[in-house]
């Protein structure tokens, strides 16, 4: 079957669409029988739940089993043309160690001015960090609302997304009402490439060292929120699905973007990098990871789910998928017990 709208697509913008505008009722296999659902005639994805056969007077057309693969192959083709593999090997880099020379200069300065070396270092690094944040640092983001909108626009290609999901958990055996920013579930293409069919939570935070309680306060609070969703035994209510549990919770923030994290972490003492890394290292034991993304000309070109440096799953600019360590999700740890 031919698909002119895909054959003629030259850019990712040509593939941008709203599935809701292209839905048609189709019949597809389910177990040993069939089920009815709405299939997007642009990309091949099914949207929404099953349609009761009692409400349909005439058997619908059989679903298009090829369209989804053709669509994602086209995405891969366009991405490959945008990001061709490098042909020229990178030259070897041999850094020269100047540490001994620098140490002599510092010691000489401290001796001449009768200063304690540790105090000089702390004062200098702290002042450099403050001046950098005040005068040089700028963010591409201003709010969590911006991050919410970006997430829904760019991740919906790969996941079914539920926004601001309500649920409940337990604190001291008392039930408490909760709300998480997103619950996601991989679409069929990802699941076929080894991604879990379980639900994953996403907590969104805008983390700026310039505003509010400062970086440490906001980041620790965000990571604690994500961690508490797991250890409170929380369950979440999804429309047309019912109550579900999460395999993991991901942090998604402005630091998820490579250029933004470089800007925030760009101080000589790497203070913010150390703080953020320490929080995520602890939270990793409670199935909390970080969603990392890269963009090219405003479009999503790469994403990965990272758990203290260990990747669960990645999608590359070429359209290729890679499953990493499957054991970084669904951990059940308490005290010194592991499961």
- Give the model confidence (pLDDT) of 140-149 as tens digits: 888 999 999 9
CATH number for domain 144-328, candidates 3.40.390, 3.40.50, 3.40.1350, 3.40.1710: 3.40.1350
Q: Give the number of other CB atoms < 10 A from CB of residue 153.
A: 12
* C-beta separation of 188 from 254 below 8 A: no
Rg (CA), the chain: 25
Tens-place pLDDT, residues 192-236: 999 999 999 999 999 988 765 678 888 999 999 999 998 888 999
- CA-based angle 193:9:316, to the nearest 5? 30
pLDDT under 50 in the chain at which residues? none
Of the candidates 195, 185, 188, the residue with the CA atom closest to the CA atom of residue 162 = 185
CA-CA distance, 183 to 187, in Å (whole number)? 13
The answer to whether the CB of 280 falls within 8 A of the CB of 308 is yes
Q: What is the reported pLDDT for 176?
A: 92
**For the chain, domain boundaries:** 4-82, 99-136, 144-328
The pTM of the full predicted model, rounded to 2 decimals, is 0.68
Q: Residue 77 has what pLDDT?
A: 84
In the three-class reduction of DSSP (H, G, I as helix; E, B as strand; rest coil), residue 334 is classed as strand
Q: Which residues contact 85 (CB under 8 A, 6 or more apart)?
A: none
Predicted pLDDT at 123: 84
Rounded to whole angstroms, the Cα distance separating 85 from 118 reads 46
pLDDT, residue 155, reads 94
Query: Which tokens is 77 given?
Result: 């083709």
Q: Is the dihedral of CA 244, 248, 252, 256 positive or negative?
A: negative
């Amino acid at each position: 079957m031919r698909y002119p709208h895909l054959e003629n697509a030259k850019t990712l913008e040509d593939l941008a669409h709203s599935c809701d505008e292209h839905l048609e009722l189709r019949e597809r296999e389910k177990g040993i029988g069939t089920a009815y659902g709405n299939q997007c005639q642009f990309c091949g994805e099914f949207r929404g739940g099953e349609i009761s056969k009692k409400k349909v007077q005439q058997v619908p057309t059989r679903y298009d089993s090829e369209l989804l693969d053709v669509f994602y192959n086209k995405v891969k083709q366009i991405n490959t043309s945008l990001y061709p593999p490098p042909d020229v090997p990178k030259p070897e880099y041999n850094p020269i160690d100047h540490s001994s020379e620098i140490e002599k200069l510092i010691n000489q300065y401290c001796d001449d001015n009768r200063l304690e070396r540790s105090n000089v270092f702390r004062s200098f690094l702290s002042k450099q960090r403050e001046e950098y944040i005040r005068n040089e640092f700028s963010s591409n983001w201003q709010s969590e609302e911006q991050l919410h909108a970006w997430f829904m626009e760019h991740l919906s290609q790969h996941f079914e997304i539920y926004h601001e999901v309500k649920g409940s958990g337990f604190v001291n055996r008392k039930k408490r009402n909760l709300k998480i920013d997103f619950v996601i579930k991989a679409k069929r293409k990802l699941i076929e490439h080894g991604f879990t069919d379980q639900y994953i939570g996403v907590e969104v935070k805008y983390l700026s060292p310039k505003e509010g309680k400062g970086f440490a306060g906001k980041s620790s609070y965000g990571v604690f929120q994500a961690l508490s969703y797991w250890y409170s035994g929380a369950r979440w209510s999804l429309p047309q699905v019912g109550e579900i549990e999460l395999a993991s919770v991901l942090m998604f923030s402005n630091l998820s973007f490579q250029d933004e994290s470089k800007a925030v972490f760009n101080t000589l003492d790497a203070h913010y990098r150390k703080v953020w890394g320490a929080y995520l290292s602890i939270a990793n034991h409670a199935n909390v990871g970080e969603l990392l993304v890269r963009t090219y000309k405003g479009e999503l070109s790469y994403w990965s789910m990272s758990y203290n440096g260990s990747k669960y799953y990645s999608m590359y600019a070429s359209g290729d998928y890679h499953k990493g360590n499957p054991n970084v999700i669904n951990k059940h740890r308490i005290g010194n017990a592991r499961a």
